[in-house]
Copies of this chain bind each other. A is one copy, B any other.
């Protein structure tokens, strides 16, 4: 498939690399590609700057948000939550029409320190905000409940015996996303229902940030729905 990944952070890089490994045509979209490409120094976590990362991932293209959306049939939103509506809007609402918009972001407000608070709570969700910003996109919320590494490699904890969630209004879009999730290695994909159910896994992030310090601090955990 032709897949765009909006966002150049660790989530965007991880998703883009995995999707390219799986044989998809992957373009990463960012506001200013040349500025992003010029970042070659490691970041504060020691991860390579995007320029260095791109040099190691020659199969991934870098483009503007608009170019990435135009080129692709499935678009992942992997921007930070507080920039997501702006990023999707910049990609071009018409460029997202009838396409699958996979939202993996979280409405985290880091301005109060750790743990972050949520800037959208149970009366709305970031996924629904994106749907309102791009009404003709087929928004599917998924993968926002674990760190980037586990998103694309669930087998690294508990032999993959844990759960990923999916919310969205379009059944065909959810089928496409479920197929991608299976290709990542996900075994237990739980369809929560329409897009408003994304409020559940987004609220859960307020729990995830408190589980983080008591599970080793590196996010190497996920939840399994035992039923």
Contacts and interface: CB of A to CB of B under 8 A. Distances in A.
Contacts of A221: 225-227
Contacts of A216: 227
Contacts of A118: 121-122, 203
B227 A220 contact: yes
A73 interface: no
Nearest to A146: B226
Interface residues of A, number: 37
Interface in A198-227: 199-201, 203-204, 206-211, 213-216, 220-227
Classify the secondary structure of A's interface with B. Answer: mixed
B206 A215 contact: no
A192 B227 CA distance: 23
Interface in A157-182: 157-158, 161-162
Nearest to A196: B210
A86 interface: no
Contacts of A79: none
A190 to B, nearest CB: 6
A77 interface: no
A51 to B, nearest CB: 34
A106 interface: no
A92 interface: no
Interface string A109-130: 0000000011001110000000
Given A117-B123, A123-B117, A210 B197 contact: yes
A185 interface: no
A193 interface: yes
B200 A227 contact: no
Contact of A226 (B122, B157, B208, B214): B157
Contacts of A197: 210
Contact of A203 (B158, B161, B206, B214): B206
Given A190-B214, A215-B227, A223-B224, 15 more contacts: A118-B122, A118-B203, A121-B121, A121-B206, A190-B211, A200-B206, A200-B210, A200-B211, A203-B204, A215-B225, A216-B227, A222-B226, A223-B223, A223-B226, A224-B226
